[in-house]
Structure 1
């Protein structure tokens, strides 16, 4: 990706996002660099030359390119935070993003897997033979049994679990820490991984065990910390149908609510800042209950 000229101060802005995740920082850097390149083609070389008219043109340009509503909304959010930062810093006198309209994200959630589908994917809870199988099953159990975000899973360090603890400490969005209970199968898998399974994986599967990321709990075949693509490959090997890793987190929340869990408790477990975010799952749960009612009740 071509870097924007220094006049745009994008690197400084990204450094100011101290509470943002690494993924958010990368996305904002990319979005803002793309905007700077697009603006340069129209003769705009500095952020203080941008007005609302140019921003509206950019949003229209993104829509014409066929980007999803969610992607356009994210890029608009990046622009709002960037120009607000420039105004606070005194680089511009007026924030041109005030009143900028952009399509809201679709709010579409991944498909919720059934209890039967999850049981088929995860097995009977026993510890599998083989280091790769052990690692893969631990990944799946953490995504579904504890509802971790993919970034939270990949960010786990070796000291995240200490036997005989039944909880793990994770770092979520905004660098917020929270403690999450482990399922019984996940606890057994953790104990097996930490008591020799990880070493077996390193010795049997890594071409250069000395290059392993020693801080990471879970690594790929290159010894590097697991990334989102690695997690997707693991799920591709074990899911009966194409499934996104985030669908397991949605399934976790929906199954909790279906089982009678309190909404505030689910909010805490998921690490949502706002209850309204968690309430999305109540809609999904209600829809699933309606489907069961329509298919099972003779008067439906």
Structure 2
């Protein structure tokens, strides 16, 4: 089997493994960059070639996370060659090649920033989009892919289909988000397109609003409000607000669609208010049992 056929079969392999369209596209695009550069045949590639490829990506000023994404795609392709095509071939992406990633805390928005951002939103469609992120914790891709059929207006809930990692989950619509979504659906033109949010003017009018289209709307309102707001920050804000209000970390993990509790625990590092509340509640119980040291010292 030649290389072109292998890449074609690899594409089908990713689809069988239930990778999302977005992930498959990224894997194949990154693999194409690597194969177009690789100075030897696929069978002869070694870790030294991967290191050289990393240097090229660094020279292009790509970030560590993006470069690691290239390595994941290359490693996956070689694993396919080994397991599916039964080739006796070494995987050149060995452990230790991935770049170390910074671990910044997710930035959430202050109440004043949320108010400023939503105060300049002029379109009912956009109000519904960003409230779904703030109240339901939806990712931008999940909002873009929402369809009419997953909305349960009677129960005020949404079934998020094939979220990150192909995970389905149920999220809940609070009143303001439910009202904003219902108001948009009343204005939305009748169409056979199942996806909810549509382009409202221009050449692509009536077509589904893309992920980049939603991000550009967030950028537009950020400039207009003078507050930098990203789609993911709205999601972070919901998680932090829930934690500060006493919601269980496992509940937040489920609502956000995190596969690992470690990811959700990052919000606990941000939540000073929750830590303060927990501290005083616990210390009050301790004092009730053991009493104050100052009063004990006076008795002595």
Instruction: Tell me whether the two structures share a fold, i.e. TM-score over 0.5.
Output: yes
Kindly indicate whether residue 80 of structure 2 is the aligned counterpart of residue 85 of structure 1. Answer: yes
Kindly indicate whether residue 11 of structure 2 is the aligned counterpart of residue 11 of structure 1. Answer: no
Q: 1:278 aligns with which of 257, 264, 267?
A: 264
> Residue by residue, what CA displacement relative to the aligned partner does 1:90-131 show, whole Å, maximum 9, x if unpaired?
13432222325121332335531112221333359xxx9xxx
Q: How many matched pairs?
A: 264
> SS of the counterpart of 1:169?
strand
* Match of residue 20 from structure 2: 21
* Match of residue 48 from structure 2: 53
Alignment partners' CA distance in 1, 2:28 and 2:104: 25
The TM-score with structure 2 as length reference comes to: 0.80
Which structure has the larger Rg over C-alpha atoms? 2
Alignment partners' CA distance in 2, 1:67 and 1:57: 14
Q: 2:95 aligns with which of 99, 102, 107?
A: 99
Task: Tell me: CA distance 1:102–1:250, structure 2 relative to 1, closer, same or farther (3 Å).
Answer: same
> SS of the counterpart of 1:91?
coil
* Match of residue 185 from structure 1: 176
> SS of the counterpart of 2:169?
strand
1:87-236 equivalences in 2 (<5 Å): 87-89=82-84, 90-109=86-105, 111-123=107-119, 133-171=123-161, 172-194=163-185, 196-199=186-189, 214-221=193-200, 222=204, 223-236=206-219
Q: CA RMSD in A?
A: 2.5
Task: Tell me: CA distance 1:183–1:122, structure 2 relative to 1, closer, same or farther (3 Å).
Answer: farther
Moved more, 248-257 or 107-116: 107-116
Task: List runs of 5+ in structure 2 lacking aligned partners.
Answer: 277-300
The TM-score with structure 1 as length reference comes to: 0.80
Task: Tell me: CA distance 1:135–1:287, structure 2 relative to 1, closer, same or farther (3 Å).
Answer: same
Q: CA deviation at 1:275?
A: 0.7
> SS of the counterpart of 1:279?
helix
* Match of residue 67 from structure 1: 62
Q: CA deviation at 1:288?
A: 10
